[in-house]
Amino acid sequence: MKNMKAYFDHSATTPVDPEVLKAMDPYFVQIFGNASSVHGFGQVAIQAVDQAREKVADFLSCKINEVIFTSGATESDNIVIQGLVKSGDHIITSVIEHPAILEPCREMEKRGVEVTYLKVDHNGLISVAEVKKAIKNNTRLVSIMYVNNEVGTIQPIAEIGKLLKEENQERQGSKLSKIYFHTDAVQAANFCPMNVDLLGVDLISLSGHKIYGPKGIGVLYRRAGTPVKPIQFGGHQEVSLRPGTLNVPGIVGFGEAIELLLDEKRVKLEMAAIKQLRDKLFAGITKTIPKAQINGDLVNRTPHNAHFSFYGVEGESMLLLLDQEGIAVSTGSACSSGSLEPSHVLMALGMDPLLAHGSLRITLGKHNTEEEIDHLLKVLPPIVEKLRKISPIK
């Protein structure tokens, strides 16, 4: 196992599936037309885009014209927040959102928007009752992530959707604005139900590189009638909401990745295999490493996420020593790498800052093997023991 390489950072990004790469390949050189062009080259390209759009609509159980292609979930999130909300409006979100939500919300606060950041319990779960209590007359948008990118906790999106539907029914006939519901579902698409009507959402953000598709491509689902305005201007692509030349290879790749997710039997088998490996990791680490703590809800959780904190150890040191052994993990969100601050998610869970600094996020994928898990379980305990011996925290 000395030369074994093991990738356990699938919440940061996933490898492109070979079937996805195969589907994309012709659109780089052979079918290279601009999808906005009227001639034959362009028409072949737009047909491929339309086919991908149909696949996404099928996956979300929505209308084809409700699917907007973007460069990724960060852009989708920004379009929602900046394009739907104006000065004087109120947003409800949570303290554990991805920076792609938190930073636009902070920017909107500078523009006269009021934002309520809901707290979570020690497992990272949001209370539906707290969402209800936070609603004000000027509430315009509720944006709650479907699955937390660090600890894997699944939020009660359908329950929140039901609450907001009831609230909006009460608002009918009044001068109060409808409350629109958005979820960043980047970490959920591989594992959770995505029917937009069952979830009760008006807007969803997705990203290709989290579902074994290419980087640089994402989707914004916008329910018909949701008054989102563009935040950048140019051509008329994507109903003028996301102008710019369409990334045809990326869109084709996204569509193919979605098509793989539409194979329910295949997905169930992959999820079961991932969960079996994750549970072995839970048992192995808690058995062999004293003072190892599992973070996040153990029930309402995606099957691929294993998040640990180790008392008296620095997470970055563990990461670097594991990397020397050919094992890739993370200490949190890839978008926050390099930050010396403890994870805002772990702080929101009420964790001691010193313990938060000693955390690892291990996220599994469909290509991981039991041999790789055995390798990690062999290598990690002595690393933790070594670091604890030299740690000033006793």
Catalytic machinery residues: 335
CB 224 within 8 A of CB 65: yes
DSSP codes, 334-381? GGGTT--SPPHHHHHTT--HHHHHTEEEEE--TT--HHHHHHHHHHHH
Burial of residue 103 (CB within 10 Å: 0-12, 13-18, 19+) is middle
The residues, ordered by sequence, that sit 6+ positions from 185 with a Cβ below 8 Å of its Cβ are 145, 146, 147, 192, 194, 204, 205, 206
> Would the CA dihedral through 270, 16, 13, 246 be positive or negative?
negative
Amino acid 321 reads L
The residues, ordered by sequence, that sit 6+ positions from 364 with a Cβ below 8 Å of its Cβ are 8, 10, 274, 277, 278, 281, 304, 305, 306
Q: Compute the distance between CA of residue 207 and CA of residue 211 in angstroms, rounded to an integer.
A: 7
Report the Cα 90 to chain-centroid distance in Å: 24
CB 328 within 8 A of CB 337: no
Burial of residue 262 (CB within 10 Å: 0-12, 13-18, 19+) is exposed
Q: Compute the distance between CA of residue 302 and CA of residue 191 in angstroms, rounded to an integer.
A: 7
105 to 13, 318, 332: CA distances (angstroms): 24, 33, 21
SS (H, E, C) 13-75: CCCCCHHHHHHHCHHHHCCCCCCCCCCHHHHHHHHHHHHHHHHHHHHHCCCHHHEEEECCHHH
Q: Compute the distance between CA of residue 158 and CA of residue 144 in angstroms, rounded to an integer.
A: 11
Q: Compute the distance between CA of residue 32 and CA of residue 278 in angstroms, rounded to an integer.
A: 42
